[in-house]
Amino acid sequence: MCYDQSFTWGVAMSTTTIRLPQDLKERVARAAERAGTTAHSFMLEAIAEKAEQEERRGEFQNTAEQRYAEIVASGKTVPWTEMRRYLERRLTGKKIVRPKPRTLAR
């Protein structure tokens, strides 16, 4: 990995060298041309999108783990069939009472 400091678009940027298989390099060049940008900008955007996707996936996983821990700690949950019915009725704009959590069957 090559590391250097550059100053582009008012933002300090480091330089990283990556090795691409020739076929991938050609695909990136074609895709960038279709997108009306440079291969460099295309790859920056792709990397940023992938990083954001992984950050969101991590946040989703953390939320799921926290909610599961709450269910385990309280022993209470709402059966999916009741929650789905509630959500479907809510989409119609009708006022509806939220289902009450119940103790899990053990």
In the prediction, which pLDDT does 105 show? 73
CA 38/CA 36 separation, integer angstroms: 7
At residue 9, the pLDDT reads: 54
Torsion angle (degrees, nearest 10) of CA 102, 103, 104, 106: -150
Q: Write out the H or E segment, with its range, that includes residue 71.
A: helix 39-74
Looking at residue 5, its pLDDT comes to 46
- Give the pLDDT confidence score for residue 3 in this predicted structure: 43
The whole-number mean pLDDT for each consecutive block of 10 residues of the chain, a chain of 106 residues, reads 49 89 98 97 96 98 96 93 94 91 82
Residues in the chain: 106
**Angstrom distances, CA of residue 101 to CA of 13, 30, 73, 79:** 51, 54, 13, 8
Q: Domain limits of the chain?
A: 21-103
Write down the pLDDT at residue 10: 66
Q: Tokens 């959500």, residue? A: 87
Q: How many CB atoms lie within 10 A of CB 42?
A: 19
Structure tokens at 64: 């799921």
